[in-house]
Structure 1
Amino acid sequence: MRIYRSQRHTASSLIGFFVALCCSLLLSSCQSPDTPPTPLSNPNDQSLPSVMTPDWGIAATLIAMGYPPVAMGDKPFYREWVGKPSIPDTTLDVGTRYQPNPEMFSQLDLDMVIDNAFYQHLHPMYGDLPIHSIELTSPNKVATWEDFIEPTLKLGEYVGHPQAAQAYLDRSQQKIAQAGQTFRARYPHIKKLAVVQFADSNNLRMFSYNSLFHPALEVMGLQLVALADGNQWGFAPIMLGELAQLDDDTCLVIVEPLSNLLKLELQDSLVWQRLGYSFDGDRQPAGKRRCVTLLPATWNNSGVASMNVLADRLTNVTFVGNTDL
């Protein structure tokens, strides 16, 4: 796969090459050992386009399909907030997602850039490179599986392998449904889940029906519960005390990262205690033991790629509190 414009190398570009290479090696030294998906075609096929994307969701979907981008933005933070699928060592980090490093970007030999509307301000930096934009989110008030089919297929078309995208969709729907069967066998009484992420000990994001969590849980045979309509990113801001509106038969799923300090602040919070939640089931109030779990980081803007991660992680987490709802 072509990465650098060797025919244009000057002394300065050679320096840029080694800087970029060193950065990539340093970052990959802490890379997760997980093996990325096997491409559906020859990975040495020189006809595959060289793609750069600043967006985590697009990068995750390309990796999951077996066609990872040559370069992406915020590679180290991807591991903390998205996690899977793991980024291959060959994918370079060009700096922050919102403002990539122009010097590093200039060293890349690319065929195209794939982004979404959030990165439109970067287009002048790309010069005459073809730019494709897709949205891995639902445009509807209530998201459905079908909302994510078209953008995934478009992504397959952009890299020249629409059949890989269709195969990925088929595999994903089957995998998510099977994960649902596993989950329901383990927790037959859990039917409804509310999914939140903490900003601090009193402010949360609650993922709503227009988020990818809704169709993913639906395919799993579960129900998402939300207290308000979501914004363009699929969540609504709520206060901690508003969780009291959840029915007792709704389990709370808290998406990480969640710092140890924040856990301690919550355990000391009178509101949290009155709600009846605890990360340690044995320490929950005797009178009210509400169902809760911590979910490893699952990005809410990666389309089907995130749905796969969500389904897999839900089958492996442990719910504490009243799971016999």
Structure 2
Amino acid sequence: MRHPSLLSLLVRGGLFAVCLLTFSTAKAQWATIDWTIAETLLALDAPVGSVAQQSDYHAWVGEPRIPDSATDMGLRTQPNLELLAQVPPEQILLSPMFAGLAPRLERIAPVSTFSFYSPGTDTWQEMQALTRQLGELTNRNTQAEKLINETQTLMAKLRDQAPESAPLLMVQFMDARHVRVFGESSLYNAVLKQLTLPNAWDQPTNAWGFTLVGIEALARYPEATLVIIEPLPAGIEEQLESSSLWQHLPSVKNAQLLRLPPVWSFGALPSAQRFARELFAALSLDSPAQATDPTVN
């Protein structure tokens, strides 16, 4: 009987080790149903293997982009468990909103839940805490601190350059007659505080930092600039053009309107950065002094 040579054994052993390493690398990926967790993992350059509702993520969150290598596990409320089980992730990460899915997901991989936008907490501090928690989980503590420092640096830079502004009413349309208005506890308001910009909305908000109101409520703030954050529901612009209620709002009549591209209103530091940049750009274009000042970057 011919025995394999030492070289043959080493080669086979090396190939086996490579296979193990490849399998380990494939397993060392995280999956998440929650977009806030997803955007933070991606900003930390953590290996993300699966994210729910990716087309809607790109419509509502925008950035960071989900890599093509990540599978789409289906609806956030009804993930495709069979697809997820084909290549089980290292862990599945949830927010409390989706905690009811944990018993089914735990059959595929360990599940961890991360809280944010908790009642009675400081939104800005909680976003930083989430960043550090995910950095610890994915062994990316350095990247987490870098993201926090970059965000703080950006806010300081924009705060120093921000033009004077009327109080802002930040809204997202639900339909032609109703909007979410964002105030205390919202990501948008947390960014306004960092930029020392005034928020006109002084009414109570829910845990996510918004109040659902009819658009007639906006008339109570005639001096405010209305900040409309996309996306808009289909057909809403045509309906607003023919809406006498909308056309007679002081902000609309006086052309005190800004329109921003999508920024995830329930996001963390990546969304905070995006909102700060987009708002600053819109305010600068709206300000003659800023528009003609060559020293503004």
Q: Which band: TM-score by shorter chain?
A: 0.7 to 0.9
Distance in 1 (alpha carbons) for counterparts of 2:244 and 2:58: 33
Distance 1:277 1:263, change over 3 A: farther
- Pick the aligned partner of 1:214 from 184, 189, 203: 189
User: Is there any run of 5+ residues in structure 1 with no aligned partner, and where?
Assistant: 1-6, 8-44, 279-284
Q: 1:163 aligns to what?
A: 142
Q: Are the equivalent residues in 2 in contact too, given 1:81–1:257 (CA < 8 A)?
A: yes
User: How far has the Cα of 1:259 moved from its partner?
Assistant: 4.7
User: Is there any run of 5+ residues in structure 2 with no aligned partner, and where?
Assistant: 1-18, 290-297
User: How far has the Cα of 1:277 moved from its partner?
Assistant: 3.9
- Pick the aligned partner of 1:269 from 240, 243, 249: 243
User: How far has the Cα of 1:189 moved from its partner?
Assistant: 3.1
Distance in 2 (alpha carbons) for counterparts of 1:103 and 1:138: 32
**Is the aligned partner of 1:63 residue 2:37?**
no
Distance in 2 (alpha carbons) for counterparts of 1:260 and 1:110: 36
Of Structure 1 and Structure 2, the greater helix share is in 2
Q: 2:225 aligns to what?
A: 251
Q: Which amino acid aligns with 1:146?
A: Q
Q: Count residues with an aligned counterpart.
A: 266
Structure number with greater Rg is 2
- Pick the aligned partner of 2:154 from 172, 175, 178: 175
Q: How does 1:83-98 map to 2 (within 5 A)?
A: 83-98=62-77
User: How far has the Cα of 1:228 moved from its partner?
Assistant: 2.1
Q: How does 1:164-243 map to 2 (within 5 A)?
A: 164-182=143-161, 184=162, 188-243=163-218
Q: 2:10 aligns to what?
A: none
Distance in 1 (alpha carbons) for counterparts of 2:45 and 2:143: 8
Q: Which amino acid aligns with 1:59?
A: A
- Pick the aligned partner of 2:266 from 301, 304, 308: 301
Q: 1:132 aligns to what?
A: 112
Question: Please, what TM-score do these two structures have when normalized by structure 1?
Answer: 0.75
User: How far has the Cα of 1:166 moved from its partner?
Assistant: 1.5
Q: Are the equivalent residues in 1 in contact too, given 2:117–2:123 (CA < 8 A)?
A: no
Question: What RMSD in Å do the two structures reach over aligned CA positions?
Answer: 2.6
Distance 1:176 1:271, change over 3 A: same
Question: Please, what TM-score do these two structures have when normalized by structure 2?
Answer: 0.81
Distance in 1 (alpha carbons) for counterparts of 2:272 and 2:27: 26
- Pick the aligned partner of 2:98 from 96, 119, 124: 119
Q: Which amino acid aligns with 1:167?
A: K
Stretches (4+) displaced over 6 A:
318-324
